[in-house]
C-alpha cells in the first residue's frame, strides 16, 4: 500500500469520544519503549507523526490518525510502565479495555513485543485478555536490527512456541525494524488486504 496521506486527527481519553466508526481501524499497543512510535512513523513514512517518547508512559491517550482518507491508525498508550502510579495504571487499563471492547470497526490490534527479550508475563496476560474478549490481534516483533544475525529468528520461534501453551491457533506475527524499514510492506499489505475484503 502506498501511504499518500497520514494525518493526526484527535487524542482523547474515552472510547465513546473517538471518531465515528465509519472506517476500518487498526490499533497499536505494547509496553513502553517497545518501539511503537518509531514503528508507526516508519509505516507512515513520517519522522514525527507519532511522538517518539523521551518520557515513556506519558502518552496515555487514544490517538487517532487517518491514513489515505480511508482507514484509521490508532496509537494506544504503552502499558506496564512502573513509574506510573498504580491507580493511574488501573485507570488507563480500563480505558484501553473499554476502547478495545467497544470499537466495532477495530479490524486488528497489533501487539508489539521487543524481539530481543523473553516472553514477559505482562504481554502474555494481555494476549490472554484479548483472547477472552475475542479481540483479533497480531504480534509485531520490534527492533530486529538489534538482533545478532545468528539465532535471531530462533528467538522469535521460541517465543511463538511458548504461546502454544495458551493458544490452539497461534496469532499471525510480523517482524519489524523501524531503523531498516523491515516489515513495512508486510504489515501494510496485511492491512490493505483486510480493507479490500
Task: List residues near ligand GDP by CB under 6 A.
Answer: 30, 32-38, 52-53, 56, 78, 142-143, 145-146, 177-179
- Beta carbon nearer to ligand GDP, 35 or 80: 35
- Beta carbon nearer to ligand GDP, 63 or 142: 142
Q: For residues 1 and 172, give the distance between their C-alpha atoms in angstroms, rounded to a whole number.
A: 19
**What is the nearest approach in angstroms of ligand GDP to the Cβ of residue 75?**
8
57: left (phi over 0), alpha (psi -120 to 50) or beta: left
- Beta carbon nearer to ligand GDP, 131 or 181: 181
* 116 SS3 class: coil
Closest CA to 166 of 118, 135, 124: 124
- Beta carbon nearer to ligand GDP, 38 or 60: 38
**146: Cβ contacts below 8 Å, ≥ 6 apart:** 115, 116, 177
Cβ atoms within 10 Å of 33's Cβ, excluding its own = 16
Q: For residues 171 and 66, give the distance between their C-alpha atoms in angstroms, rounded to a whole number.
A: 26
- Beta carbon nearer to ligand GDP, 91 or 116: 116
Amino acid at each position: 500500500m502506498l501511504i499518500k496521506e497520514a494525518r493526526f486527527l484527535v487524542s482523547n481519553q474515552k472510547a465513546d469520544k473517538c471518531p465515528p466508526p465509519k472506517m476500518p481501524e487498526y490499533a497499536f499497543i505494547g509496553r513502553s519503549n517497545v518501539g511503537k512510535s518509531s514503528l508507526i512513523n516508519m509505516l507512515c513514512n513520517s519522522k514525527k507523526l507519532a511522538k517518539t517518547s523521551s518520557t515513556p508512559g506519558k502518552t496515555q491517550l487514544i490517538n487517532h490518525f487517518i491514513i489515505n482518507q480511508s482507514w484509521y491508525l490508532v496509537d494506544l498508550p504503552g502499558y506496564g510502565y512502573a513509574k506510573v502510579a498504580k491507580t493511574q495504571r488501573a485507570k488507563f487499563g480500563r480505558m484501553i479495555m473499554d476502547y478495545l471492547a467497544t470499537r466495532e470497526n477495530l479490524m486488528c490490534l497489533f501487539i508489539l513485543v521487543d524481539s530481543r527479550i523473553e516472553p514477559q508475563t505482562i504481554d502474555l496476560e494481555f494476549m490472554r485478555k484479548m483472547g477472552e474478549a475475542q479481540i483479533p490481534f497480531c504480534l509485531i516483533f520490534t527492533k530486529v536490527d538489534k538482533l545478532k544475525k545468528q539465532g535471531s529468528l530462533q528467538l522469535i520461534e521460541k517465543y511463538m512456541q511458548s504461546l502454544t501453551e495458551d493458544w490452539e491457533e497461534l496469532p499471525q506475527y510480523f517482524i519489524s525494524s523501524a531503523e531498516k524499514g523491515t516489515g513495512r510492506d508486510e504489515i501494510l499489505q496485511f492491512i490493505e488486504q483486510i480493507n479490500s475484503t
